[in-house]
Amino acid sequence: MLELTGITKTFFPGTVNERKALVNVDLNLREGDFVTVIGSNGAGKSTLLNVVSGSIRSDSGTVVIGGKNVTKLTDYQRAAYIGRVFQNPSAGTAPHMTIEENLAMAKKRGKRRGLGWSVKKSLRQEFRDDLATLEQGLEDRLDDWVGLLSGGQRQSLSLLMATFTNPQILLLDEHTAALDPQRAASVTKITAELVEAQGLTTLMVTHNMEQALAMGNRLIMMHQGEIILDVDGIEKASMTVPDLLAEFEKHRGAELSDKDLLQ
Ligand SMILES: Nc1ncnc2c1ncn2[C@@H]1O[C@H](COP(=O)(O)OP(=O)(O)OP(=O)(O)O)[C@@H](O)[C@H]1O
């Protein structure tokens, strides 16, 4: 479903600020793969997602989604294939539009149509039904501005919007990291349910190793722009946090002080 081949991205090449964000990355996701992505700060996780979404163009390599080579397409041109939720709850929704208008906008994602968000009665009922699955009482607040919602409610809404059009790839970039533990747990549960219900091929970046082990069928660990561990199935299911730390240490040397990875 997603084939990345030979992806390399260097920021500010040839300068003192040169950063090798991705180094010859190959990654192949089968349809329905739910892959959690871990790694220390600056490992290249967000850049990987940006290259898939098209918001960053790689220096070399190819990106194929659903058999279509999208390497040269802009993020807008790829929007129909991709759903994405960011860490910041404000990023995925428009605060000065109502819940209904946000949902209508998501329905039209990637389609060439005018910016009219008028919603027919039947669609309104569909929105209510979808919102009810989030179990946050949002189905009765269709006319409320999204800016009035809590961070957890906005992330839940972002998730719903990102999965509305049944994208070929769902990208989750630390989407529970900015939430308190209770809201993070609720958004994690909704994520698992939505991905499972639609069989979505998913890449989820997280700094929480327990979450990375508990969710999905496959896990990759990145370090300095490379994928240094790729496990799935029973191998992943039998892994523990100490196993992950040991893998990380192998590549990083004896030093083990990265609080972000240790969360
Ligand atoms: N737009 C950019 N301009 C310059 N350098 C960048 C840019 N985006 C990322 N980098 C650099 O590329 C490297 C990889 O960054 P990236 O954000 O992909 O890492 P990450 O694994 O997502 O880190 P974190 O967990 O801290 O979010 C880092 O050295 C970072 O400073």
In the chain, where are the structural domains located? 2-91+168-262
Ligand 1 pocket test, candidate residues 7, 19, 52, most atoms within 8 A of CB:
19
Ligand 1 near 11 CB (within 6 A): yes
Sheet holding 169-173, edge to edge: 82-85, 169-173, 201-205, 34-39, 218-223, 226-232
Angle at 174 between CA 108 and CA 238, to 5 degrees: 115
Place of tokens 């997602």: 49
Q: How many CB atoms lie within 10 A of CB 11?
A: 13
Q: Which residues have CB under 8 Å from 196's CB, separation 6+? A: none
d(CA 206, ligand 1 centre) in Å: 14
d(CA 152, ligand 1 centre) in Å: 25
Ligand 1 near 19 CB (within 6 A): yes
Tens digit of pLDDT per residue, the chain (263 long)?
Answer: 999 999 999 999 999 999 999 999 999 999 999 999 999 899 999 999 999 999 999 999 999 999 999 999 998 888 888 999 998 878 888 989 999 999 988 887 656 555 455 667 778 888 999 999 888 889 999 999 999 998 889 999 999 999 988 899 999 999 999 888 888 898 899 999 999 999 999 999 999 999 999 999 999 999 999 999 999 999 999 999 999 999 888 877 645 444 555 44
Q: In this structure, which amino acid lies at residue 218?
A: R
Ligand 1 near 220 CB (within 6 A): no
Place of tokens 């039209």: 108
DSSP letter for each residue of 164-207 = TT--SEEEEESTTTTS-HHHHHHHHHHHHHHHHHHT-EEEEE-S
Ligand 1 near 84 CB (within 6 A): no
Q: How many CB atoms lie within 10 A of CB 14?
A: 7
Strands 169-173 and 201-205: parallel
**Does the domain at residues 2-91+168-262 carry the CATH identifier 3.40.50.300?**
yes
Ligand 1 pocket test, candidate residues 16, 47, 58, 86, most atoms within 8 A of CB:
47
Ligand 1 near 151 CB (within 6 A): no
Angle at 254 between CA 233 and CA 207, to 5 degrees: 45
pTM for the structure as a whole: 0.90
Nearest to 209 by CA among 252, 239, 250: 239
Ligand 1 near 46 CB (within 6 A): yes
d(CA 234, ligand 1 centre) in Å: 31
Ligand 1 near 51 CB (within 6 A): no
Q: What is the pLDDT of residue 180?
A: 86
Q: Which residues have CB under 8 Å from 66's CB, separation 6+? A: 1, 81, 168
d(CA 21, ligand 1 centre) in Å: 6
Nearest to 227 by CA among 218, 235, 237: 218
Distance of CA 216 to the CA centre of its chain: 13
